[in-house]
Structure 1
Amino acid sequence: MRKIFAILILGIVIVTTACADNDVITRNLNELPAPARTILKQQFAHTKVSYIKIDKDWFKSTTYDVQLVNGTEVSFDSKGDWTEVDGKRSEVPAFFIPKEIKKQVNEMFPGEKITKIEKDSRKYEVELTNDVELKFDRKFNIREID
């Protein structure tokens, strides 16, 4: 029984070590895919990068989290497509917001700004200055309001 328990513990330790975090922290913009560099240069030309966290996952592709000195965070997938922009209470640049979402937010919540937007293959999620969260499908229909 002890041997089985010891082997089980050893297996857990090996799996945990093998799946250890493979993050790289850098400030070198050249570590980003070209489309990500282009987006940062166009949308945040006057804001410096604080750091870039590169997450090389064993089972998924690489992701990039860029922290800007003004507090804004921008996440990119392995191709350099943005997946999330978090303004940390500041408005997200219009470039990231589909016009259909912007229109609905302006109609339903006049005066509120989008401070965070996240997208994946099936949906968009936005957070407003009043902390309301909206979830949209890919056709920009609202599916949930929190």
Structure 2
Amino acid sequence: MRLSIKESDEHKDIEIIIHCPKIDDRLSQLIELIQQHDIHLIGKNQKRIQSIPVKDLLYIESVDNNSFLYTLTNEFESNLKLYEIEKIVKNTRFIRISKNLIVNISQIQSVRALFNGRFEALLVNGEKVIVNRHYVKSFKEKFLN
């Protein structure tokens, strides 16, 4: 893989062009990371409203019809439903791992299989989340590629 960067005052915006014979798993991951770089979600924390870059999120959880956004240091509440957030982060490094949880696979430190067909993912902050059996196949495809 070669990387060419052309810096010039003529350019008004950043444009990324990828020339390749075929999109492989490595390139697909790179595209997902680039796409998630500009996505932000709005969250509330202690009556403050903030724009949170999704690349900083560890996971998104739904509890009692409320959605919560988790970073390394904070928890935010979102007005969006989990399925709405899932549409926003589609084609990024996020994947649903249970009925109420979407995880950023870039923030997973390790994974281990559990005895009942589920997986346990250890996040970079030390938290553990469970990948339910129904979501294991899609999780493995995205995480292992």
- With normalisation by structure 2, the TM-score equals 0.24
- With normalisation by structure 1, the TM-score equals 0.24
Larger Rg: 1
